[in-house]
């Protein structure tokens, strides 16, 4: 799986995404579940609409998917995902996103395909944070007690990386000061981390 990991929105390496379209196809599944903890208002919708437009401007054909529509329906989710080999997991609350992945079975699916080169995982903010092995430390910037699905907080991430991604570092984002606190926490507690400034993109291949 190719990973396109951005601090905020699509970042500064979108030529890589255009290349993906040329070499594969332009279908992509945009997963909005990290925002399920936010009220349904214009600000939330405008943010999602911006994400859609960014993808469409690159040439992607975008399908929205909310994981909560597939809670307890893992087989139906897998059937739905057969149509896609590219996924865009957007920002929000990492703990909300992790719970949604668990309840729908998306976490099992994404781990089952991570060694397959013909898949693309694009993400920013919470969408990259959830890839860590352990989510402790991220509770400084994302509230784990906001429990919209009424299950216990899940502190284990997807396990792609043994360190935390800390996006919005030294940026103009509203969470930048909280990320500074995350950095301090990680240093004090000997937690490995990697910071990204808004605009930064990390590209990795899971082989």
123-155 tens-digit pLDDT: 999 999 999 999 999 999 999 998 899 999 999
Q: Is the pLDDT of residue 174 over 90?
A: no
Residue 119 tokens read as 């898949």
Q: Is the pLDDT of residue 207 over 90?
A: no
Domains of the chain plus CATH, in order, are 2-165+200-205 (3.40.50.880)
Rounded Cα distance between 11 and 108, Å, is: 27
Residue 2 tokens read as 């190719």
The answer for residues whose C-beta is within 8 angstroms of residue 167's C-beta and 6 or more apart is 6, 7, 8, 91, 124, 125, 128, 129, 173, 179, 195, 196, 198
Model pTM score: 0.96
> Helices 94-104 and 106-113, interaxial angle, to 10°?
90
What's the pLDDT score for residue 40? Answer: 86
């Amino acid at each position: 799986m190719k990973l396109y990991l951005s601090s905020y929105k699509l970042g500064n390496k979108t030529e890589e995404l255009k290349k993906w379209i040329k070499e594969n196809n332009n279908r992509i599944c945009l997963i909005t579940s990290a925002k399920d903890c936010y009220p349904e208002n214009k600000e939330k919708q405008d943010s999602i609409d911006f994400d859609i437009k960014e993808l469409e401007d690159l040439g992607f054909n975008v399908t929205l998917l909310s994981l909560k529509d597939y809670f307890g329906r893992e087989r139906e989710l897998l059937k739905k995902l057969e149509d896609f080999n590219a996924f865009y997991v957007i920002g929000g609350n990492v703990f909300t996103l992790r719970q949604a992945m668990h309840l729908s079975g998306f976490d099992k699916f994404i781990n089952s395909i991570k060694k397959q080169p013909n898949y693309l995982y694009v993400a920013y903010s919470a969408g990259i944070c959830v890839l860590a092995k352990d989510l402790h430390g991220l509770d400084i910037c994302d509230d784990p007690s906001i429990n919209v699905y009424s299950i216990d907080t899940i502190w284990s991430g997807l396990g792609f990386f043994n360190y935390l991604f800390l996006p919005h570092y030294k940026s103009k984002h509203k969470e930048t000061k909280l990320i500074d606190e995350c950095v301090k926490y990680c240093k004090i507690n000997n937690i490995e981390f990697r910071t990204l400034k808004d605009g930064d993109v990390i590209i990795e291949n899971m082989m």
